[in-house]
Each structure stands twice: as structure tokens, then as C-alpha cells.
A = this chain, B = another copy of it.
Amino acid sequence: MAHLPLDEGRRAYLSTLIEGLLAGQRRALARALTFVENGGPEAQWLLKRLYPRAGRAHIVGVTGAPGVGKSTLVNALASEYRERGRTVAVVAVDPSSPFTGGALLGDRVRMRDVAGDPGVFIRSMASRGSLGGLARTTGDAITVLDAAGFEVIFVETVGAGQVEVDIAQEAHTTLVVEVPGLGDEVQTIKAGLLEIADIFVVNKADHPNAERVELALKMMLDMGGPYEGWKPPIVRTVATRREGIAQLVEAIEAHRHHLQAGDGWQQRVRRRAHEEFTRILRRQLVEHLFSTLPPGRFEQALDHILARKTDPYTAAQELIAESYGLRSG
């Protein structure tokens, strides 16, 4: 698992990518993102150099169950921000991609409204199938897009699982999208990530049940709290017709101002850096351990576990003790 160092030619090539993406070249940006997604020494080399240039973007997470219209909503938000003169990047995270080979409707629909606009960049991220892999690549892609100067970065996650929550929590502002359903509002909201929402969006608000969803959300919000200066507003949208989108942008901007007026912004930046640092540390630790173990040692331990001659806790302690000695604490 240890990486070979990059040769001079490779480093020179990566340098031109960095220069290119800082100068606004889309192809350089796309290539840098591909390196970053693939991991490996190129990713690390690029990220080390881009990280100090990041930190200015407003990161907006958009989450909610499948089928609530998140892609259409993010498209509409991107168009609205563009009309206000802001540059926008979108990272669309789709954990189902490794299984079905990517979005079925996908990027074609997505690009329709913003095609050819250099102020918008859209990137779909697929899971590499490993726990935490998606969170890593998403965080790294945000760093690259942030360094490239995009002012607003939307991170759109399909589904409402733990990883999606973790990814949403990387954002400064998190939108939770609900839709009028089959009448089972409680069930919807139960899985609906109540307490990570900075703003609730009731999309497809032209549906007759929209009122009921909004009412259910209001009741939940009234039972919740305290809210420390920001009670999540509920914004109704019909993203397909761009209704309510201007109001939603106002709400997002209001939330940004709220965070920046206090220490909320800095708190969220710290939380994100803490998560990111821990994740990177964990991965490097595993790589370091593997680089010190004799070949086949891990598999041997796994065989003993499978034969139930030992348990994974004891086996892990043994591997670590062999490489680093016994724990001092």
C-alpha cells in the first residue's frame, strides 16, 4: 500500500494542472479532480498544494431521500446564483453508482440549463465501494473546487444514510429536502435528518399534500430547539418551474450571514477540518502499518480469525504490537 514517489516529469505535469485550474481551465480542473478521486500519490501531491488555497467557498449541502428532486433543485439554485454573478460548483454524490454504473438519467438532464457557462462546474462522484471512501473523495473534491475559486459549492447527496449525514455536515449550510408523499409524513421526517437541517425545502410544493408536509415539519420544529439564533426556515419550491428558488437563495444567504456574524462559521470550519484530518490520519496509519508488516501477515491473521482460533480484537492488538510495541497507556 505504500506509494512510490513521483518522478520529476509527473510532478511537472501535475504543476501545470494546478496552474491551469487556478487560471480557470476546465480541462485542468477535471483532470485534477480525476487524480484526486483515484487517490494515490498524485492525489496527495495535488491536495498538499491546493489545500492552503482553499477555504473561501460557501459549501452548501443538499440532502434528502431519493426522488425528492434534488438534482433539479440544485440546477435551479445554480442558475439563480449565476444570475446574481456568483460562480458555482456542484458535487453530486451518488453512492449507488458502483452498483449500477452511474446515474441513469444523470448528467445530461442536469447540464441542460447551465451547459457552456464557464461559471458553473458539475462533477458526479461515485463511491469506490468502501466505507468512508466516498466521504474522502467528496471532501477532497471540495478542496480542489474551493481552491479553483468557485464561490458557492453545492454538495448533493442521494439518500439519507449515515454517510450522507456525514457529508452534509461538511457543509456550512445544509438543506434537507422533503416532498409531499403518500401520506406517511411522520415516516418521511423520521428518516429526514431533522437536526442537521439549516433550511428545510418542501419541493414539489404544487402537490396537494404539500401543506401537510409543511405543517408536520413546523410541528417538529416547534417541539425541537432551542435554536441559538437560527430556527430553520421552511421554503416551498417547485424546482421544475423555478418557483421559490429566489426565496431559497435568500434563505441560504441569510444563513451565511448568520454564521459569519457569530462564531458559527468558524465552528463549522473547525468541525470539518477535524473530520477530514482524522480521516486522513486513519488512512495513513493503515498504510504505514501495512508497510511495516511482513508480506502475508495480515492474511495469516485473517485465516486464524476465520478458523475462530483467535478473535479480531486480539489479532489487531498483536499486529500493532509487532510493528510498534505495546501501548503505553
Name A residues whose Cβ lies closer than 8 Å to a Cβ of B.
Answer: 1-3, 44, 47-48, 51-52, 54-55, 65-67, 95-96, 99-100, 103-105, 127, 131-132, 134-135, 158-166, 181-182, 184, 186-188, 190-196, 269-270, 273-282, 284-289, 291-292, 301-302, 305-306, 308-309, 311-317, 319-320, 323-324, 327-329
**Are B186 and A328 in contact (CB-based, < 8 A)?**
no
13 cross-chain CB contacts under 8 A: A1-B329, A66-B188, A104-B190, A105-B187, A161-B163, A277-B301, A277-B305, A281-B312, A281-B319, A282-B282, A284-B317, A291-B327, A291-B329
Contacts of A287 in B (CB 8 A): 327
Contacts of A103 in B (CB 8 A): 190
**Are B312 and A280 in contact (CB-based, < 8 A)?**
yes
Minimum distance in angstroms from A138 CB to a CB of chain B:
11
**Are A96 and B193 in contact (CB-based, < 8 A)?**
yes
**Are B100 and A195 in contact (CB-based, < 8 A)?**
yes
A187→B72 CA distance, assembly (Å) = 13
Q: Quick one: given A281-B286, A291-B329, A328-B292, are A48 and B195 in contact (CB under 8 Å)?
A: no
Contacts of A320 in B (CB 8 A): 281, 284-285, 288
Contacts of A278 in B (CB 8 A): 286
Contacts of A284 in B (CB 8 A): 313, 316-317, 320
Minimum distance in angstroms from A49 CB to a CB of chain B:
8
Q: Across chains A and B, which 3 residue pairs bring their CB atoms closest together, nearest first?
A: A161-B161, A2-B329, A51-B311
Contacts of A319 in B (CB 8 A): 281
Q: Which chain B residue shows the least CB distance to A224?
A: B100
The residue that A324 contacts in the complex, of B1, B47, B194, B324, with Cβ under 8 A, is: B324
Q: Which chain B residue shows the least CB distance to A309?
A: B52
**Are B95 and A165 in contact (CB-based, < 8 A)?**
yes
**Are A131 and B276 in contact (CB-based, < 8 A)?**
no
Secondary structure type dominating chain A contacts: helix
**Are A308 and B191 in contact (CB-based, < 8 A)?**
no
**Are B51 and A308 in contact (CB-based, < 8 A)?**
yes
**Are B2 and A328 in contact (CB-based, < 8 A)?**
yes
Contacts of A317 in B (CB 8 A): 284
Q: 11 other contacts beyond A52-B311, A284-B313, A285-B286, with CB at 8 A cut-off?
A: A47-B313, A48-B311, A51-B308, A66-B160, A99-B193, A104-B186, A132-B132, A162-B163, A162-B164, A270-B302, A273-B312
**Are B51 and A277 in contact (CB-based, < 8 A)?**
no
